[in-house]
Amino acid sequence: MSIDLSRFCCTVRKDLAVPFSVANGTAACNGHLVVWVDQPCETRVEGLLPTKVAGYVMHAKEAAALDGDWRRMDALASTFDPCHRCSGSGHVHVVTCDECDGDGEFRHGSHFYQCQACYGSGECVESGDASGVRCRECCGTGKAQQLVPGLIVTNAMRERRGINAIYAEQLRLLPHAEICTALVNDCFPIRFDGGVAMLMAMRA
């Protein structure tokens, strides 16, 4: 079975824009989530990134082999508020901000001020429908950033942690995905048919 990892990539970072070879398989990463599958990949990435990702993959594989409190991703709550940027469609039409001409800021004398129309991004959302590009705010899920109810745990520092609804929706699409409630380095291990994942915990 082939799994499309591109939906787990980061659209704004070049080093995370495509899946890459790591740990004798293929990984995708967006900075909060690493998904690894046991499939070969020709794309190589230089620098420290493959080493860091390989560490997360190793921890996820170790956790996946253990018994514990594993919960099916498809059994987690799936009704969430819609994303405010794309109105829940998961896609947006992005246009250059008219107020700042795409600069994201204004200059007055020797001072720079952030554009309030686009909040400094230089872009505005024209509409949210399925024909546009994938929404960066919700990673194309259409869900607002919020915690998944019923999956709040306490880490070693006695801090409450949970998982972001956006990533829960993405992980739900993996075949037979399960999430472990025992944190590893403040991340949730995930196992699924053909691979593993690690999700950074969100402060509850």
Output 159 or 35, whichever has higher pLDDT. 35
pLDDT computed for residue 1 by the predictor = 59
Residues contacting 108, CB < 8 A, separation 6+: none
Tokens of 36: 């690894």
Q: What is the pLDDT of residues 4-51, one digit of tens each?
A: 898 888 877 778 889 999 999 999 998 889 999 999 888 887 777 888
| Residue 172 CA: distances (Å) to CA of 39, 62, 96 | 20, 21, 34
Could you identify the residue written with the tokens 């107020």?
99
Model confidence band, residue 64 (pLDDT cutoffs 50, 70, 90)? very high
pLDDT, mean of residues 55-68: 91
Model confidence band, residue 155 (pLDDT cutoffs 50, 70, 90)? confident
pLDDT, mean of residues 74-90: 78
pLDDT computed for residue 130 by the predictor = 63
Predicted TM-score of the model (pTM): 0.71
Cross-strand partners of 29? 34
Angle at 163 between CA 161 and CA 167, to 5 degrees: 160
pLDDT computed for residue 129 by the predictor = 65
What is the dihedral angle through the alpha carbons of 139, 145, 151, 157, rounded to the nearest 10 degrees? 110
Could you give the CA distance from residue 63 to residue 72 in angstroms, rounded to a whole number?
Answer: 15
pLDDT exceeds 70 at position 188: yes
pLDDT computed for residue 176 by the predictor = 95
Closest CA relative to residue 79, chosen from 165, 7, 176 = 165
Closest CA relative to residue 181, chosen from 68, 45, 17 = 68
- 3-class secondary-structure state, position 102: coil
Q: What is the pLDDT of residues 108-150, one digit of tens each?
A: 888 888 888 877 888 887 766 666 777 877 777 788 777 787 7
pLDDT, mean of residues 185-193: 92
Going across the sheet that includes 160-162, the strands are: 153-154, 160-162, 202-203
Could you identify the residue written with the tokens 């704004």?
12
Contact 89, 128 (CB under 8 A): yes
pLDDT computed for residue 77 by the predictor = 66
Contact 31, 56 (CB under 8 A): no
pLDDT, mean of residues 76-82: 73
Residues contacting 123, CB < 8 A, separation 6+: 94, 95, 96, 97, 102
Could you give the CA distance from residue 2 to residue 38 in angstroms, rounded to a whole number?
Answer: 10
